[in-house]
A and B are shown apart, each in its own frame.
Chain A
Amino acid sequence: MDFWISQVFNGISYGALLFLLAGGLTLIFGMMRIINLTHGSYFLLGGYVGLTVIWRTGSFPLAILVGAVAIAVLGVVQWRLFLHRLAGEELGQVLTTVGFALIFQDLALVIWGGEPYTIPAPAALTGAFNTGTLYFPVYRVFMIGVAAVVAVVLWFVLERTRVGAMMRATVDDAEMAGGVGIDVRRISMGVFALGALLAAGAGVVGGAFVGVYPGADFEILPYAFVVVIVGGMGSLRGALIGSLLVGLLDNFGKALFPEFSYFTLFAPMAAILAIRPTGLFGRA
């Protein structure tokens, strides 16, 4: 029993981190039909900026804030200068965003060097809740909390506010939305910024968990993609379910079938896609 409880907890906490990353990715796709392979770089760069802030100020909340906002600005610039004109051109999107990912990777190496770092979490978030034989690391609980808050806020904004209604309208039919007077361009830019913001914030939060090091960008990217693909591109609900699913699959796969730990991740994804090419909650 202990085994199942702790594995489920671990799976959910890892899924929480993935949700922070994949939520933005899926929104960007849903809104603009852009496949953004730079998304992993936002995670990495967010972590590095956060690290610098912590070194200078020692403040963890400030690190999250500055890291997220700085990278959101970077994302907006990238979108304004390059990506917004690539609507509908999958190949162009893939190549451009890969190009940026390579450039960001190398720039990060130049600026921060190649040493692996961890972001020191505040003392209040270290240690573990102990109930008998079970341990629940505080930081994992914190990640779950952050993801839950983000999910609720996103849901609220999307479903209950005017901006959210405009965003949903744009997702459904950008042309029509433009026709009824919605500034699609500004909405799109806002969503892109939000996606980068979430990814970079995840980089800082995750930096205390998985570390900040060159290569983190391309390591985490496939996971984010699996989540988005399984959940269905453009669907926030899909991203949430997908994150939990991938977190749990990854956890139980590694625990129960260690020899097949990659299959337990990618094979179900291929299977889901074969049955539902648009993912669990995606629309064609």
Chain B
Amino acid sequence: MSGPAPANRLVVPVVVLAVLLAAPPFLSSYVLTLLTQSLIYAIVAMSLDLLLGYLGLPSLGHAAYLGVGAYSVGILTSRYGAGFGTVLPVGVGLALILAAVFGLLALRATGVYFLMITLALGMVAWGLAYRWVSLTQGDNGISGLPRPDVPLPWSLAGAIPFYYFALAGFLLALGVLWLIVHSPFGMSLVGVRESETRMRTLGYHVWLHKYLGFVISGGVAGFGGVLWAYYNGFVGPTDLDLSTSVEVLLMVALGGRATLLGPALGAGIIVFLKNLVSVYTQRWLLILGAAYIGTIVYAPEGIVGAVRRLSEATEPAPARPEA
């Protein structure tokens, strides 16, 4: 793949970052709230992108890891008064462990069967959250969670500080994932996606690559879950719904697979779409449904993919053989 020169490529992200950094004072607090929500969902979407985009494994159970992270916050802070310093490693750690277990089961399958088995595992996680009442408070969920206590000179209680906190979390996740996908390991993930047989012949341990990708993806999603619980001050079984998993899939597909920033953009679009459209019409479900179908019909490679294709088309690119 060619595309614009590296320097050009950096322009858009840098501008976006600058806007994200400078925006808060100019935004209404509600828009800021939605932006915070978008950043957190972007983390989860990017984590799924590692699995779906780079490894070609569509998971229908990604909400499970978000849920583990979120419930770690809920249970540890409400029961033991644990601070952010404890909750974060535990939440991410548990998500990694859960992904390590689920990965053993799910990676036995491919394609459609992978979708189905992750769906089943996601439902098991949801069932746990729903039925293990002594631990999760079941249907009621856990509410009244405090904002994280970080050793910073200002409190995270306000909307603007928490926004920057979420932005920092987003950049951290982006950084980690970016390093991974641009490392030799990340390259070999793409190799596995394109042709397992070829990678196997080349001496790669294909299963291990997929497994590691699966576990890391779960861990990052768990990190998003931790932030999500702090943001809402609440965690409940609905956070683990199938619809959450499907929505995250849509975010990735809408933004563009295997682009990291695409899914982040997708997350923002979906969050704003759901919340702003519902102000104007009660029939927003129709519009969301149309967004699902429209994405597949008009932008199967996602927004970022489409933009890249267009910008490549306008440049006098060297003739390439059709793939």
Contact = CB atoms under 8 A, between A and B. Distances in A.
Interface of A: 29, 33, 35, 82, 86, 89-92, 94-96, 98-103, 105-107, 110, 218, 222, 225-226, 229, 233, 259-263, 266-267, 269-270, 273-274, 277-278, 284
Contacts of B177: none
A86 B283 contact: no
Of B121, B242, B290, B292, most buried by chain A (CB within 10 Å of CB) is B292
A90 B300 contact: no
Query: Helix, strand, loop or mixed for chain B's interface?
Result: helix
A103 B123 contact: no
Given A35-B112, A222-B242, A101 B289 contact: yes
A262 B296 CA distance: 33
Query: Helix, strand, loop or mixed for chain A's interface?
Result: helix
Nearest to B246: A98
B52 A270 contact: no
B77 interface: no
A99 B289 contact: yes
A35 B285 contact: no
Contact of B130 (A33, A262, A273, A274): A262
Interface in B91-113: 105, 108-109, 111-113
B286 A103 contact: yes
Given A94-B249, A95-B292, A101-B289, A35 B115 contact: yes
A40 B49 CA distance: 28
B120 A105 contact: no
A270 B112 contact: no
Contacts of B120: 226, 229, 266, 269-270, 273
A33 B112 contact: yes
Contacts of A33: 112
A263 B105 CA distance: 16
10 contacts: A91-B253, A95-B249, A95-B293, A96-B297, A98-B250, A102-B286, A107-B286, A233-B113, A262-B123, A273-B116
Contacts of B289: 98-103, 106
Nearest to B241: A218
B69 interface: no
Of A95, A263, A266, A274, most buried by chain B (CB within 10 Å of CB) is A95
A274 B106 CA distance: 7
A95 B286 contact: no
A94 B60 contact: yes
Nearest to B286: A106
A229 B114 CA distance: 11
B303 to A, nearest CB: 14
A86 B285 contact: no
A54 B119 CA distance: 37
Of B116, B123, B286, most buried by chain A (CB within 10 Å of CB) is B116
B295 interface: yes
Contacts of B246: 94-95, 98
The 7 closest A-B pairs by CB, nearest first: A99-B292, A262-B127, A102-B289, A103-B289, A277-B109, A106-B285, A99-B293
Contacts of A98: 246, 250, 289, 292
A201 to B, nearest CB: 25
Nearest to B252: A91
A263 B111 CA distance: 25
